[in-house]
Amino acid sequence: MEKFEDLGFSKVDYDREKRQGFPEVIYGEGKSIEQIHLIMSKLIEKHGRVMVTRVDKEKGQLLIEAFPLSKYDSVSSILLYGEPKQQFAGEIMVLCAGTSDLFVAEEAAITAEWMGCKVNRLYDVGVAGIDRLLAYRDQITTASVLIVVAGMEGALPSVVGGLVQRPVIAVPTSVGYGAHLQGLTPLLAMLSSCASGMSVVNIDNGFGAAYQATLILKLASEGVNNEITIS
Compare residues 27 and 66 and give the one whose CB is closer to its own copies. Answer: 27
> Are β-strands 145-150 and 50-53 bridged in parallel, bridged antiparallel, or unpaired?
unpaired
Residue 96 CB-half CA count within 13 A:
22
CB of 75 to its own copies, least distance (A): 9
The helix/strand/coil state of 84 is coil
Residues 140-169 that bind its own copies (CB under 8 A): 142, 144-145, 152-155, 158-159, 161-169
Question: How many other C-beta atoms are found inside a 10 Å radius of the C-beta of residue 144?
Answer: 19
187 lies in the site for its own copies, by CB under 8 A: yes
Compare residues 68 and 122 and give the one whose CB is closer to its own copies. Answer: 122
Compare residues 68 and 192 and give the one whose CB is closer to its own copies. Answer: 192
The sign of the torsion formed by the CA atoms of 100, 57, 178, 209 equals: positive
Residues 200-219 that bind its own copies (CB under 8 A): 200-205, 208-209, 211-212, 215-219
Residues 20-49 that bind its own copies (CB under 8 A): 20-22, 25, 27, 29-31, 35
CB of 48 to its own copies, least distance (A): 15
Quote the CA–CA distance of 70 and 81 in Å, as a whole number.
4
CB of 68 to its own copies, least distance (A): 25
Radius of gyration of the chain (CA): 18
Determine which residue in the list 23, 60, 183, 206 makes contact with its own copies, applying CB under 8 A.
183
Compare residues 16 and 46 and give the one whose CB is closer to its own copies. Answer: 16
Residues 84-143 that bind its own copies (CB under 8 A): 85-91, 97-100, 102, 118, 123-132, 134-135, 142
Q: Are 117 and 171 in contact (CB under 8 A)?
A: no
CB of 186 to its own copies, least distance (A): 7
- SS3 of 7-46: the string is CCCCEEECCHHHHHCCCCCEECCCCCHHHHHHHHHHHHHH
DSSP, res 226:
T
Residues 45-84 that bind its own copies (CB under 8 A): none
CB of 167 to its own copies, least distance (A): 5
Question: How many other C-beta atoms are found inside a 10 Å radius of the C-beta of residue 125?
Answer: 23
